[in-house]
Amino acid sequence: MAIVGLANTASDLLRQHGKSRGAIDDDEDDYCLKGVRHLSDAGITRLPGRYVLPACDRPGRSVGAAPASARVKLPVVDLARLRVPSERDGVLRTLYTACRDYGFFHLVNHGVGAESVAAMLGVGARFFELPFPERARYMSPDVRAPVRYGTSFNQANDAVLCWRDFLKLSCAPPLGDVVPSWPDSPADLRDVAAAYAEASRRVFVEVVGAAMEAMGISGAEDGVMEELTSAGSQMMTVNCYPACPQPDLTLGMPPHSDYGFLTLVLQDEVEGLQVMHDGEWLTVDPVPGSFVVNVGDHFEIYSNGRYKSVLHRVCVNSTRPRISVASFHSVGAQRVVGPAPELIDEKRGGEPRRYMDTDFTTFLAYLASAEGKHKNFLQSRRLD
Ligand code: OGA
Ligand code: NI
């Protein structure tokens, strides 16, 4: 399909959904829908109006200039120590409190090699350096497309656009079935991203198993652990946050929580990710080579609220472009997720059920209606 056709589709969608924004400058819309890399390459010095957040939603203080108290050293979970029998209990305790108190932790010694990590960040960065028409081949308004290049957060719904371009790669198992639909340029993208996806999946399986064990459950009774191990769903997003001329007025990603069980985020050495903790936005210190792992909505539901799917957002800055790679892991889209039976079984002195069951279709319907404010989705599943 012609590039212009695709771009128009997206902008038509935007127009339909954006009526409440009042008069729209069509030229500016079409320009913005080419993404922020395009704007940054064009050398703009002022942020187009479509990216300017209302004062109450702005980052408040620019990252880097923030006072020391607004930074956070997340708990560190060491996967190598988890494998040492005499140390396992201690690491499980750290994992449990991290998932309960922060919903976030750094994962170190995860076994994904430094070359593999560097190669993934590198090929991701090179994808966004491709000429725009090359990247635009993968634009699609279909959120279920196996490969999708786009901009902002939820482009069709965002009243204010975010300073982010992304490449989403479905890794739906079997991985081999989807890789041929991934971009064939840069030439090494498929090999590098497929190897990285496999490696991150292995890490996920080990960590989610440990996080179940830390709650004293196996995830076996309802087959959830089996599904996460053998099938499940995986989606990878490469996020590109170019240097932004007015970073105080916008965000790379708005406050949101992630949908699945766990997300593994690889960030380069540029900070930007912030997590909500005790009502404050805290900047996550980049720990080179580590994964930032966070609990998603499904795991909060499955853990019956013991683990927290926490709001997070991304700030941008005026000098240093940033790349991150997020790998989202969950059960298959057909599966209904509710609290683990092992936790809420009354006969075994279980706790009250705190969430309704949910599935992917319900989530998509919510996404389409709620302007991407995912947290509302989780709240909508709560029973108390
Ligand atoms: C995400 C996300 C954080 C980052 O992709 O959902 O929160 O640092 N990414 O890019
Ligand atoms: Ni996220």
- With a cut of 60, say whether residue 46 has pLDDT above it: yes
Domain ranges of the chain: 54-381
Query: In the prediction, which pLDDT does 290 show?
Result: 95
Q: Does domain 54-381 have CATH number 2.60.120.330?
A: yes
> Which ligand neighbours the alpha carbon of 274 most closely?
1
What's the mean pLDDT in 25-43?
75
Instruction: Report the atom number in ligand 1 closest to the C-alpha of 272.
Output: 8
Bridge pairing between strands 253-256 and 312-314 = antiparallel
Query: In the prediction, which pLDDT does 29 show?
Result: 62
Query: In the prediction, which pLDDT does 186 show?
Result: 97
Ligand 1 proximity of 253 Cβ (cutoff 6 Å) = yes
What's the mean pLDDT in 64-91?
85
Q: Measure the CA–CA gap between 173 and 192, rounded to whole angstroms.
A: 17
What's the mean pLDDT in 212-234?
93
Ligand 1: which residue has its CA nearest to atom 3? 273
Q: Which residues have C-beta within 8 Å of that of residue 267, sequence separation ≥ 6?
A: 273, 284, 286, 292, 322, 323, 324
- With a cut of 60, say whether residue 3 has pLDDT above it: no
Contact 232, 252 (CB under 8 A): no
Q: How confident is the model at residue 345 (pLDDT cuts 50, 70, 90)?
A: confident
Task: Please give the torsion angle defined by the CA atoms of residues 184, 190, 191 and 196, in that order, rounded to the nearest 10 degrees.
Answer: 160
Q: What are phi and psi of 365, to 5 degrees?
A: -60, -40
Ligand 1 proximity of 258 Cβ (cutoff 6 Å) = yes
Arithmetic mean of pLDDT over the chain: 86
Q: Using CB atoms within 10 A of its CB, is residue 325 exposed (0-12), middle (13-18) or buried (19+)?
A: buried
Q: pTM score, two decimals? A: 0.89
Q: 19-28, 95-104, 109-118, 289-298: lowest mean pLDDT where?
A: 19-28
Q: Give residue 72's identity as a one-letter amino acid code.
A: V
Q: How confident is the model at residue 315 (pLDDT cuts 50, 70, 90)?
A: very high
